[in-house]
Amino acid sequence: MYYILSMTIFKNKDDLFKSISFIKGVGPKLSKYLKNKRIEKINDLLWHFPYSSTDRSNMTTLDKLESGKIQTVKVKVLKYNFPRIRNLPNRVICEDQFGKIDIVFFNSREGYVKAILPINKWVVISGKINFYRNRYQITNPSYITSLDKIDYVKKNIPKYSLTEGLNEKSYRKIIEKVINNLPHLDEWHDSEVLKKFGFRSWNESLLKIHNFENADKVNNIYIRRLALDEILSNLIVLSKNRKKFKKIKKKNKIFTSSLSKIILKNLSFKLTQNQEEIINEINKDLRSDKKMFRILQGDVGSGKTIVSFMTAANVIEVGCQTALMAPTAILAKQHYMLAKKIFDRTNIKIKLLTGKTETKFRKKILEELINGEIDLLVGTHALFQKKIKFKNLGYIIVDEQHKFGVKQRMSFAEKGGKNCDVLLMSATPIPRTMMLTVYGDMDVSRLTEKPKNRLPILTYSKPEKKIDELINIIKKNLSQGNQVFWVCPLIKDSQVLDYSSVNKRFDWLKKKFPKETNILHGELKQNKKDIILENFLKKKTKILVSTTVIEVGVDFPDANLIIIENANKFGLAQLHQLRGRVGRGHKQGKCILLFKDNLSNNSVQRIKILKRSSDGFFIAEEDMKMRGFGDIIGYQQSGEKFFKIADPVSHSDLFDYAENYIKKIENENLDRFDFLIKLHDKAEIIYSKND
Ligand code: ADP
Ligand code: MG
């Protein structure tokens, strides 16, 4: 191993992508702590901005100490006081010409204390001042240095959010090495862009932010510059991918829709006009000689599944196979059952493959896939294991795609080869303004019309102190043959967060409804979760206390009441998703939101929106205005954060600008942005297959 940063400067800008363990002084232990903060490469350090700063610049004499303040003093070491009793701290008495102060060390070795504070030596010490038993003291001071290093301490020092095992001093050693030695990068922006926004270079911007200059304003030019960088890197990658997809030629699928016409006759309802339009749109893609890569966005309950089956029928008609993938086994099974019903009067062969499929059935399925007997395979991500080979896969459909994250989206595009069309479906409406940012690589269909007979879900709010009233409401619902979801934000009670937990609520409800109540949350094993949901579906249990894991598109026809505790904790879009779990059958769906007593204006506003509207696209738009973008896509659940710096609400002008700009430069050579794309970790989502 060699240490790149033992030198004064990066040898090479690509060193930024090396592991942090290449920084001198970062050993395995520190690496582990940094990893907890998702810092693994040197580059990751750059995007971890300070949130505040500590002013250690004012030197104080010992007659002007103020308890509770962080102060910096210049003192002479006078005397040691090392108690012989365990657990008592070591003390060092120091003085200047105006007074005395105790420097106190817990869990310290004498040798160490003597080495950093030699008797009679003048030192600079910085830390929080306490007043204890009539004496001023500093306990475990943040800094002790010799006088010649006074400038290192006597200043405004940026404050980073640090985890256990990392203190300011050790983090500073690392971050300062990196920030003060940033490699020079060639400017990727045109000079007009820099001028228009008043931006400075990449180096200067990062340096200013890490020195916490102007950092109180999200909208200072330094942050804005890095935000525009990030937005552009995202748009460029999506645009590159889009161009690549558009070049992929495939064998066009020519069909007469004879099969899908049979399905249509089997349906108990009439398609909405919007569903018909989208089916036509997809059919056009299937018929064309370009590979389809399309996302179908539609609110919960808007009827996306049937759209996918109608178009799958056409693919099957021309002799190709279709794979339909869902994020959970229970949803896969539901799709499978529905497909069996819908394709009933055809001779289409349908199979289900999930992680639970027994080996002997699995073996048979693998055979039937490779020899082309199976036309439609429904399943979980088990569908895309390497061993699973199709004879002639022509169509991949991925339901609830947002559960799978951005990178996996690319992998779906690659699966099946060039002749395979791809349709992703998502029930998370993205505000129109963010469409290009999120789905700029795909063609987008929006299903906005709801089936006509659908009753909007009635939404009520209730203060938590009236929670007992819900018992009667539940009783009444159960007596009518209905089922109930009860959602809480936490699994276990927390000492830090004042939210309700499923464990506690389950105990409470079980006393009142001992046979009917069950519990579900994300920490349970998948097969356990599946059993619980099956039992609920079969109506063996009637009340399900759950975290948000019930969000995903399963149909429970008799569930018509959902109660959501601490409704404030959830975003509007998420509340809308959750209430979409009920009222999917013929019954009127109801949603009760529980709130703490004193509602802020903001909360009142939020409830109003939910009560007034059942339009997921509108709600997403409003949600973004109120809470920002992070929660909307739901990627956070898959552990990915869409933007590190850019914020679609406060940087909306930059988003607008970037979208127009990308359209203008799309067809130029964009190599100058290559390094930027790497800086923002987007290089790995560039579509690289050339088939
Ligand atoms: P989502 O878009 O959330 O996946 P689904 O496809 O599960 O919605 O459809 C929800 C329910 O609506 C299903 O029971 C489905 O049979 C029904 N449905 C779909 N289209 C229509 C329609 N045009 N008219 C009436 N009911 C419909
Ligand atoms: Mg669905």
* DSSP secondary structure string for all residues of 293-334: EEEEEE-TTS-HHHHHHHHHHHHHHTT-EEEEE-SSHHHHHH
- 521-530 in b/e form (b: 16+ CB < 10 A) is beeeeeeebb
Which residue CA neighbors atom 24 of ligand 1 most closely? 451
Q: Residue 77 falls within a domain, yes or no?
A: yes
Of 289-293, 435-439, 676-680, where does mean pLDDT reach its minimum? 435-439
Contact 584 CB / ligand 1 (< 6 Å)? yes
Q: Residue 548 falls within a domain, yes or no?
A: yes
Q: How far is the CA of 269 from the centre of ligand 1 (A)?
A: 9
Q: How far is the CA of 300 from the centre of ligand 2 (A)?
A: 7
Q: Which of 263, 272, 304, 306 to mutate to test the pocket of ligand 1 (most atoms within 8 A of CB)?
A: 306
Q: Does residue 587 sit in the same domain as residue 472?
A: yes
Q: Does residue 510 sit in the same domain as residue 579?
A: yes
Q: What is the mean pLDDT of the chain?
A: 88
Q: Does residue 577 sit in the same domain as residue 478?
A: yes
Question: Which bound ligand lies closest to the C-alpha atom of 454?
Answer: 1
515-566: pLDDT as tens digits: 999 999 988 887 888 889 889 989 999 999 999 877 666 788 899 999 999 9
Question: Which bound ligand lies closest to the C-alpha atom of 401?
Answer: 2
- The pLDDT of residue 1: 42
Q: Does residue 38 sit in the same domain as residue 67?
A: no
Structural tokens at position 602: 């903001």
Q: How far is the CA of 271 from the centre of ligand 1 (A)?
A: 9
Contact 406 CB / ligand 1 (< 6 Å)? no
Q: What angle do CA 558, 339, 299 make, to 5 degrees?
A: 60
Q: Does residue 549 sit in the same domain as residue 505?
A: yes
Please list, in sequence order, all residues whose beta carbon lies within 8 angstroms of the beta carbon of residue 185, skipping any fewer than 6 positions away.
13, 202, 203, 675
Q: Does residue 13 sit in the same domain as residue 77?
A: no
- The pLDDT of residue 637: 42
- The pLDDT of residue 499: 85
Residues paired with 646 in a beta bridge: none
- The pLDDT of residue 459: 93
Q: Residue 122 falls within a domain, yes or no?
A: yes
Which atom belonging to ligand 1 lies closest to the Cα atom of 307? 6
Q: How far is the CA of 181 from the centre of ligand 2 (A)?
A: 51
Q: Does residue 170 sit in the same domain as residue 143?
A: no
Q: Which amino acid is at 224?
A: R
Which atom belonging to ligand 1 lies closest to the Cα atom of 272? 23
Return the percentage of the chain with pLDDT > 70, whole number.
93
578-587: pLDDT as tens digits: 898 888 777 8
- The pLDDT of residue 9: 53
Contact 553 CB / ligand 1 (< 6 Å)? yes
Contact 298 CB / ligand 1 (< 6 Å)? yes
Q: Does residue 50 sit in the same domain as residue 166?
A: yes
Residue 416 DSSP label: T
Structure-model confidence comparison of residues 627 and 530, the more confident one: 530
326-343: pLDDT as tens digits: 988 888 988 999 999 999
Checking if the pLDDT of 682 tops 50, the result is yes
Q: Residue 148 falls within a domain, yes or no?
A: yes
Q: What angle do CA 413, 411, 326 make, to 5 degrees?
A: 90
Q: Residue 667 falls within a domain, yes or no?
A: no
Residue 53 DSSP label: E
Return the percentage of the chain with pLDDT > 90, whole number.
54
Q: Does residue 1 sit in the same domain as residue 107?
A: no
The Cα–Cα gap between 302 and 32 comes to 46
Going by C-alpha positions, the residue among 578, 560, 580 that lies closest to residue 570 is 578
Contact 113 CB / ligand 1 (< 6 Å)? no
* Total number of domains in the chain: 3
- The pLDDT of residue 483: 95
Question: Which bound ligand lies closest to the C-alpha atom of 581?
Answer: 1
Which atom belonging to ligand 1 lies closest to the Cα atom of 300? 3
- The pLDDT of residue 201: 95
Q: Residue 547 falls within a domain, yes or no?
A: yes
Q: Which domain holds residue 477?
A: 458-613
- The pLDDT of residue 319: 95
Contact 327 CB / ligand 1 (< 6 Å)? no
Q: Does residue 20 sit in the same domain as residue 141?
A: no
Checking if the pLDDT of 636 tops 50, the result is no
Q: Which residue, of 123, 154, 185, is where some domain finishes?
A: 154
Which residue CA neighbors atom 9 of ligand 1 most closely? 303
Q: Residue 308 falls within a domain, yes or no?
A: no
Structure-model confidence comparison of residues 315 and 494, the more confident one: 315
Question: Which bound ligand lies closest to the C-alpha atom of 298?
Answer: 1
Q: Does residue 64 sit in the same domain as residue 106?
A: yes
Contact 581 CB / ligand 1 (< 6 Å)? no
- The pLDDT of residue 310: 97
Q: Which residue, of 138, 154, 170, is where some domain finishes?
A: 154
Q: How far is the CA of 425 from the centre of ligand 2 (A)?
A: 8
Question: Which bound ligand lies closest to the C-alpha atom of 576?
Answer: 1
- In this structure, what CATH number is given to the domain that contains residue 67? 2.40.50.140
Q: Which residue, of 110, 135, 154, is where some domain finishes?
A: 154
Contact 305 CB / ligand 1 (< 6 Å)? yes
What is the average per-residue pLDDT within 237-261?
A: 91
Q: Residue 515 falls within a domain, yes or no?
A: yes
Q: Does residue 163 sit in the same domain as residue 147?
A: no
